[in-house]
Amino acid sequence: MGGREVLGGAPTTNTTPQVLCRRAIGHLPLLLAGAALLAAAPRLSAALPAPANRLVANGLLRELAAMGVSAPAVAVACWAAAVAAWAYAVSRPRPVYLVDLSGYVAGEAHEASRAKTIAHFGRCGRFSDESMAFQKRMLERSGLGERTHFPASLISVPVDMCLRTAREESHAVIFGVVEDVLRRAAVAAADVGVLIFNSSLLSTTPSFTSLIANRYGMRDDVVSHNLSGMGCSAGIIAIDLAKRLLQVHPDTYALVVSTENITLNAYMGNNRPMLVTNTLFRVGGAAILLSNRAADRSRAKYQLIHTVRTHRGAHDQSFGCVTQEEDDAGCVGVSLSKELMLVAGEALRTNITTLGPLVLPMSEQLRFLATVVLNRVFRANVRAYLPDFKLAFDHFCIHAGGRGVLDELERSLKLSAWHMEPSRMTLCRFGNTSSSSLWYELAYSEAKGRIRKGDRVWQIAFGSGFKCNSAVWKALRTVDGGEEGNPWTPELDVLPIHVPKVSPVDETTYTFPDGATYKVSVAG
């Protein structure tokens, strides 16, 4: 009998901590139940008279002893339960909430009809007749409307492209959206613990994050990151980075500012692959305020559910399809290759292959898996099944990079005109505003009263490198349409509008202040 152990019985010769731990683990379910009863005993005793208190306590102890549970074993079980609960709590990711967002709208002085755009490009005197004719044709097929915005530097005579005017453009956008989002969210700049800024083509010294911190008096320990060279998908990259930082910095806000600068990046040469950007990119920007504070859940608009990033930079074709470079005359611009749509399609397929299992219903996952097995195992040469993402998402925000991109994704994802409306209206009203376009699209859905509690939103962005990034949001409340500060509120009554595939530019509709006019002289 010397080696026998009876838990809770007569004293044994082996009562080391190791033995007690083994006993506790072996009886863990029983001990946890006992611990729960002991924890509840004070509340029970408070509701009972004194004699009943003693009966409850004595009865509980007798029952535990009869079950073979000793006091040290109960203590170990309580300690183990506390450690397990703590480990579970700290290992869970912190929820990330989108409190509010703001989109920049330039003043009327910056509005540029398509005729005004052509006239100013023509009068600057840096383009050949063939280049002007090409830009006009591209503009007619671009999907852009008559009220997009240019910086003053590009619609002045002559153009004024320099670092000073580039900073003026960026400062107007940044200060406009930051002040608006902080005001609408009623959050002080000093309460922001994480600050992320992205602008692909302009990086100044001091950085734009330093500019924001200086302007608004942010605290000394603010965690700041200034992203550049990441292309139009940098907005989702910034959101993903903010999400990761909010996992390690508790009880704080993250401010994300996304924009692009076109003052120094309008192309003034005659290389066709580099002229396309002139017809697409316009002034814009957005600020997004995120939080990991539990108290903000009740007022936040969305919760971030997933971010999925795809980077195909290891493939030469993907790496070289969007590049900033000099032409033979030394003019700097961004060149778009003819393989851009092919590269974007491959990146999208890779991205949704990762995202699909996270969001799609099981029936769609099984259909996709079946085609993979048939092709790879049985060599059946069956066309890959494209899941129906409309079963997973209620709203789609697809980067308004150009009409061709939107047409291709509408076809590939089998989306309706209603699903594509936010992206097409953003392209028409604001043009390609790079990384901020997704937020104009989400704001459009809000303004139209489409966002209902529980809805899921899929944001898809493409960028140089080549990258395809996704973010999935869940609406925490119904968002009222036409709220103050929404960039779409002033024109809700006239939207959506029909945008034809080809819309001729009537150059006679614009005259310079001095009475001069401009007309493209070469067709073709």
Query: Is 311 marked active-site?
Result: yes
Query: Is 432 marked active-site?
Result: yes
Alpha helices by DSSP H, 9-69? 17-26, 28-46, 50-66
User: In degrees rounded to 5, what are phi and psi of residue 324?
Assistant: -90, 130
Out of 225, 249, 306, 311, the active site residue is 311
Query: Is 395 marked active-site?
Result: yes
Written as one letter, the residue type at 74 is V
In eight-state DSSP terms, residue 10 is: S
Report long-range pairs for 75-84 (Cβ below 8 Å, ≥24 apart). 76/20, 76/21, 76/23, 76/24, 76/31, 77/24, 77/27, 77/28, 77/31, 77/32, 77/34, 77/35, 78/35, 78/38, 80/24, 80/25, 80/28, 81/32, 81/35
From CA 352, how far away is CA 358, in angstroms rounded? 10
Query: Is 249 marked active-site?
Result: no
Out of 110, 120, 149, 395, the active site residue is 395
Residues in a beta bridge with 405: none
Out of 399, 428, 468, 469, the active site residue is 399
At residue 506, the 3 state secondary structure works out as coil
Out of 27, 110, 120, 232, the active site residue is 232
Compute, in degrees rounded to 10, the torsion defined by CA atoms 340, 318, 274, 329: -150
Out of 226, 265, 270, 432, the active site residue is 432
Query: Is 315 marked active-site?
Result: no
At residue 251, the 3 state secondary structure works out as coil
From CA 428, how far away is CA 499, in angstroms rounded? 8
Which of 284, 322, 275, 273 has its CA nearest to residue 121?
A: 275
Catalytic positions, written as ranges? 232, 311, 395, 399, 432
